[in-house]
């Protein structure tokens, strides 16, 4: 399967803060949505910076559409739509002025499509952006990211400022977008319910380190969490344990193969595991 986005061993160190992104690797196939999960400061935005060249990586390779993107490759950036969390555009513009600027930058800028998004998202074209609510600015940024017919959307916490109804509407827009097989979305978020709804693949990052990257189906159907007592925990085969977290009366153990664990540990409760719980276990749990 070909990948629209591929990261191989991408590393970046910020000497002042001491933060390190360590050998991050994952791949997003064409037609897929990758949920990029991690707590605040985990390294999601740094990774996106390395992808978009706003941050210079120390080592590793980032391939977009099968090749590395340099500053001179503006033709590649024609095919990418980006949304950052917060104010993407200056507040003194109106959406109409923004369209004029973007029309002069993107070869494939589609005024009609942008106008449709403004209507669909109920955004006034003449109002200054500084008078928009946070949700409105996010919707505007999503409209801009889509209005030049990109192939790849890179969304950094793009749904965080939206209310649940609007988030649902946006998720539908994203699902629509990936109906075309040559499209793809990288969606960083800590709202894991969004990712459970739309992501095909999920990558977990914590403290600059990639913890896990897997398909959502794999996580939903194969991964499991063993709920056991301390004495039962001691009988588990260490090879089966991805991470464990001791709580007051039980220990939760994340396993990659829930079916196998059910057969092997018949006296223990083994539940399906949500993305939220996987994240908590991976971040707060301990390794054997």
- Interface residues with other proteins (CB under 8 A) are 49, 52-56, 71-72, 74-78, 80, 82, 84, 86-93, 97, 100-107, 154
Nearer to other proteins (CB atom), residue 53 or residue 274:
53
Mention every residue, 6+ apart, whose C-beta is less than 8 A from residue 118.
Answer: 95, 124, 125, 140, 143
Nearer to other proteins (CB atom), residue 137 or residue 251:
137
> CB of residue 14 vs other proteins: minimum separation in angstroms?
9
Nearer to other proteins (CB atom), residue 75 or residue 112:
75
Nearer to other proteins (CB atom), residue 86 or residue 124:
86
> CB of residue 187 vs other proteins: minimum separation in angstroms?
16
The Cβ of residue 65 has, within 10 Å, a number of other Cβ atoms equal to 19
> CB of residue 252 vs other proteins: minimum separation in angstroms?
38
Phi, psi of 184 (to 5 degrees): -165, 160
Angstrom distance (rounded) from CA 132 to CA 26:
36
Nearer to other proteins (CB atom), residue 28 or residue 279:
28
Angstrom distance (rounded) from CA 200 to CA 177:
14
The alpha carbon of residue 216 and the mean position of all alpha carbons in its chain are separated, in whole angstroms, by 12
Angstrom distance (rounded) from CA 262 to CA 42:
33
Q: How many CA atoms lie within 13 A of 44 on its CB side?
A: 25
Nearer to other proteins (CB atom), residue 66 or residue 90:
90
Place of tokens 């390779």: 61
> CB of residue 44 vs other proteins: minimum separation in angstroms?
15
Nearer to other proteins (CB atom), residue 82 or residue 254:
82
> CB of residue 86 vs other proteins: minimum separation in angstroms?
6
> CB of residue 193 vs other proteins: minimum separation in angstroms?
25
Strands (E), the chain: 3-14, 19-29, 33-37, 59-64, 67-68, 80-83, 152-156, 184-189, 201-206, 209-215, 224-228, 243-246, 251-255, 269-271
> CB of residue 2 vs other proteins: minimum separation in angstroms?
23
Angstrom distance (rounded) from CA 256 to CA 249:
23
Tell which phi-psi region holds residue 59, choosing left (phi > 0), alpha (psi between -120 and 50) or beta: beta
């Amino acid at each position: 399967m070909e990948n629209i986005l591929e990261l191989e061993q991408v590393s970046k160190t910020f000497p002042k803060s001491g933060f390190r992104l360590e050998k991050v690797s994952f791949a997003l196939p064409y037609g897929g949505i990758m949920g990029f999960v991690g707590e605040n400061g985990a390294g999601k935005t740094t990774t996106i910076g390395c992808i978009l060249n706003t941050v210079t990586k120390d080592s590793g390779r980032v391939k977009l559409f099968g090749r590395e993107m340099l500053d001179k490759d503006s033709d590649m950036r024609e095919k990418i739509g980006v949304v950052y969390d917060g104010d993407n555009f200056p507040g003194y513009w109106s959406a109409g002025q923004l369209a004029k600027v973007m029309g002069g930058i993107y070869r494939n800028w589609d005024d009609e499509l942008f106008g449709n998004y403004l209507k669909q998202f109920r955004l006034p074209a003449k109002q200054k952006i500084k008078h928009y609510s946070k949700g409105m600015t996010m919707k505007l940024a999503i409209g801009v990211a889509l209005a030049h017919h990109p192939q790849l959307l890179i969304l950094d916490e793009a749904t965080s400022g939206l209310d649940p109804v609007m988030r649902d509407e946006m998720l539908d827009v994203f699902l629509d977008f990936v109906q075309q097989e040559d499209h793809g979305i990288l969606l960083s978020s800590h709202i894991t319910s969004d990712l459970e709804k739309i992501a095909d693949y999920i990558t977990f990052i914590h403290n600059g380190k990639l913890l896990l990257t897997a398909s959502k189906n794999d996580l939903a159907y194969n991964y499991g969490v063993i709920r056991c007592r301390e004495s039962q925990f001691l009988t588990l085969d260490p090879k089966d344990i991805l991470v464990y977290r001791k709580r007051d009366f039980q220990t939760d153990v994340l396993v990659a193969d829930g079916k196998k664990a059910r057969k092997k540990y018949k006296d223990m409760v083994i539940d399906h595991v949500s993305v939220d719980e996987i994240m908590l276990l991976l971040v707060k749990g301990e390794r054997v």
